[in-house]
Amino acid sequence: MRQFEYTSPKSKQQAVGVLSKSFDETAILAGGTDLLALMKDDVVHPKRLVNIKQIQDLQGINIQPKAVRIGALSTLGEMAEHVDLRAHFPVLHDALWEAASEQIRNVATIGGNICQRPRCWYFRNGMGLLAQQNGKSLVLNGDNRYHAILGNDGAALFVSPSTIVPVLIAHGASVRIVGPVKAREIPLENLYRAPKDETERELDLAANEIVTEISLPIAEANTRSGYYEVRQKEAFDWPYASCAVVLKMDGPNVAAARVVLNQVAPTPWISQEAATALIGKPLNEEHAMAAANAALSKAKSLSHNKYKITLAKVAVKRAILAAANPKHHAGNQG
């Protein structure tokens, strides 16, 4: 690991003040579970780490009448063990539990999780976010077993990594971001983008901005939700595909739907096709399968990842069936 400066501000304003406009100069340290690994592998090498763990304003889970405000420094473990949060968002608890081992859950923060870098092995081996050499993609002609099957017409072929993000987006989450000029709040899905070239990152976040909190609107009484991820083994592993669904019901039929996939595209993938296939229909296996087929209708495999289309359909179908049966918890298929 290269040498770096270290500072530990006590307020958001102090933190923003010591952050540079360049990611090469400074990096934010929270739980550190992703950043430190990248630094050890010399994938990133900031000259200064800005430790934000002492900023009290970034901590805590506040249940309000219409929304839950979650500080960016809340750990995945704190969220998973929060009784009221689990009562309002049971599938979020499932996703938190599946997201990491117990040791990691007790350290990793929700802010760090939603801002984690892609798990693409080309990127993790120092070949750049888009993994290009002489203007040509190494991914297209290389090992692309785990790469994108949706939204892969551009230069970005990595997949968005978080298993928690699709649940948050399905529930209509927003994030608050503080920068040197002013704060802004945006829908969580707008935080993500597919870079067009190596000058862009996968997050709409400047180097001198900090994610400070996540807001989740309280689900209505007629809401059902489900989550499912497909992975190779029962023990902690990175999923091949995951899906979260939040459905508003009108009696036995679906009145509105949010279907969000991840690990299938450079950004979390909101499937309007799947939502349309569900609206006005009762929840059963036939309609769940129709929605799954609709969600992947525009999928395009690379040379070695056609199997992911089938697995993503499994994730969508089983997430919908989990919503149909509230006692059904998140699972995985080995």
> Once rounded to an integer, what is the mean pLDDT over residues 295-306?
98
Q: List pLDDT tens digits, range 59-73.
A: 999 999 999 999 999
CB 69 within 8 A of CB 152: no
Q: What is the pLDDT of residue 236?
A: 65
**Which runs of E-coded beta strand occur in the chain?**
5-7, 26-29, 48-51, 61-63, 67-71, 132-133, 136-137, 174-178, 183-187, 210-217, 223-230, 241-250, 253-262, 269-270
CB 36 within 8 A of CB 42: no
| Single-letter amino acid, residue 284 | N
Residue of 289, 278, 130, 286 lying closest to 201 (CA atoms)? 130
DSSP 8-state assignment for residue 130: T
| Diameter of the chain measured on Cα atoms | 61
Q: List pLDDT tens digits, range 68-118.
A: 999 999 999 999 999 999 999 999 998 998 887 788 888 999 999 999 999
Dihedral, CA of residue 304, residue 309, residue 310 and residue 315, to nearest 10: 130
Q: What is the pLDDT of residue 99?
A: 83
The pTM assigned to this predicted structure is 0.95
Q: What is the pLDDT of residue 332?
A: 46
CB 185 within 8 A of CB 215: yes
From the CA atom positions of the chain, what is the Rg in Å? 20
Q: What is the pLDDT of residue 64?
A: 93
Q: Which helix (H) or strand (E) holds 275?
A: helix 272-278
Residue count (the chain): 334
Rounded distance, CA 87 to CA 97, Å? 15
CB 38 within 8 A of CB 193: no
Rounded distance, CA 107 to CA 100, Å? 10
Dihedral angle sign, alpha carbons of residues 135, 140, 146, 147: positive
Q: List pLDDT tens digits, range 154-205.
A: 999 999 999 999 999 999 999 999 999 889 999 999 999 999 999 999 999 9
CB 226 within 8 A of CB 322: yes
| Single-letter amino acid, residue 1 | M
**All domains in the chain, ordered by first residue:** 56-115+160-217 (3.30.465.10), 223-324 (3.30.390.50)
